[in-house]
Amino acid sequence: MEGTRLSSQAGVLERLRTPYVSYKRGKPPFGEYEEARYLPSGDRYLLVEFGDRLNIIINCKALAFDQEIKKSKIPGILETCVGQLAVLIYYDDFIVSFGELVARLKEIEKRISMIEQMVLASRLIEIPVLFHDRWTIEAANDYSAKMKPVDDNCDTVIKYNALKDLKELIEYTTTPQHWVANMGWMPGNANAFPLDPRYEIRAPKYNPSRTWTPQGTLGVGTADKVIYPLRSPGGYQMIGRTPVKMYDPEQRNPSFKRSIQLAMVGDRIRFYPITEEEYLEIEKEVHEGSYRYRISSYELFSVKKYLEFLEDVKEESRRELERRPWAGGHHV
């Protein structure tokens, strides 16, 4: 009886699931799939996923795919969003059906290759951060009082990564450059991961998520870091706060003349530590419009050279990884 019931359920789901490439673990070391997965996201969006590990190869594959889509001018595509592992396509199925769209995109997928040869124009943006600040501590305390108790967020991240103390957490956060792999979530938000794997730290997310996070919070979730551009809900562990803006719809500061957001996919971010006095001083300058953002001019970023660097630090990265309690498990 049980068997019959289960198989008929499987039949119902089978009919409802849109046919797509089922999940198979991406191949090491970068986790790219043999073939991209074409996942429907409702009747208006299609998600094309290239791999299951956060790194520059998968991100570049998504970037290259997105550029090819833009060139192809497939009718019915209204917008594309390129992210760290996947590209989301917003389409009008009165113009192009899911089936037709997937067929056209699979043709494009075949054309993208030679990711290792890509050279990208990239800026370095330096962001001042006050670590373990009173505002994010207050936000965590508020969550503890109203939702459920959480530990001091810096402590949580220190323990989760078996770091020694706050000083080491700051060192691991401020030493490497971070690659901006995604923009979005909220306007101006940049998701970045460290380019140097020796400094990879991870953190579990809030469950359930917070209803509010201070603007400028530096958050860590999985291997990802963000600066919350606005006071907003959120799920990442809060380890510090920046007084600078990631989003400015008024575009008063020269750094926002070209765009309402500070960063772009393919930029690099380095965080640097400041004191509370410096925080308040910069905050005042940002408010007055006199603050000058620390942004480099465009430099060429060679994927090939970067892969050589990864090879050079491979042994050291492996040793670092051994210290991390999360490394043994199967983690995103």
Partner 1 sequence: MFRVIDGGLETTVQDFPGRVGYWNVGIPPSGPFDGVALRLGNLLVGNPEGEAGLEMAIMGPKLEFSEEATIAITGADLSPKLNGNPVPMWRSIEVEKGAVLSFGLCKNGCRAYLALGGGVDVPSFLGSKSTYVQGGIGGVEGRKLTKGDVVRTGATKPNSRDGRSRRLKEGLIPKYPTELELRVILGPQDDYLEDDFLLEMYASGKYAWKVSPLFDRVGVRLSGPAHKWRPPDRRPPSGAHPSNINLVYCGLGIVGVAGEVPTVCGVDGVSLTGYTSVATLIGADMSRLAQVKAYDKIRFRAVTLEEARRAREELGKTVDEGAVVVD
Sign of the CA dihedral running 170, 176, 182, 183? positive
Residue holding tokens 């999360």? 326
Residue 167 vs 331, nearer CB to partner 1: 331
Rounded to whole angstroms, the Cα distance separating 130 from 218 reads 9
Tell me the closest approach of the beta carbon of residue 125 to partner 1, in angstroms.
16
Quickly count: other Cβ atoms within 10 Å of residue 272's Cβ. 13
Residue 162 vs 260, nearer CB to partner 1: 260
Tell me the closest approach of the beta carbon of residue 253 to partner 1, in angstroms.
15
Residue 67 vs 222, nearer CB to partner 1: 222
Beta-bridged to residue 77, according to DSSP, are 91
Residue 146 vs 292, nearer CB to partner 1: 146
Rounded to the nearest 5°, which phi and psi values hold at 178? -110, 140
Question: Which tokens hold the place of 24?
Answer: 């198979």
Residue 13 vs 300, nearer CB to partner 1: 13
Tell me the closest approach of the beta carbon of residue 200 to partner 1, in angstroms.
14
Q: How far is CA 181 from CA 6, 20, 188, 232, 290, in A?
A: 41, 25, 13, 21, 29
Residue 79 vs 315, nearer CB to partner 1: 79
Tell me the closest approach of the beta carbon of residue 224 to partner 1, in angstroms.
6
Tell me the closest approach of the beta carbon of residue 110 to partner 1, in angstroms.
22
Asked whether the beta carbons of 169 and 239 are under 8 A apart, the reply is yes
Residue 90 vs 281, nearer CB to partner 1: 90
161 Cβ contact partners less than 8 Å away, ≥ 6 residues apart: 169, 172, 201, 202, 203, 324, 325, 326
Question: Which tokens hold the place of 207?
Answer: 């469950």
Asked whether the beta carbons of 154 and 273 are under 8 A apart, the reply is no
Tell me the closest approach of the beta carbon of residue 36 to partner 1, in angstroms.
13
Rounded to whole angstroms, the Cα distance separating 203 from 163 reads 12
Tell me the closest approach of the beta carbon of residue 199 to partner 1, in angstroms.
19
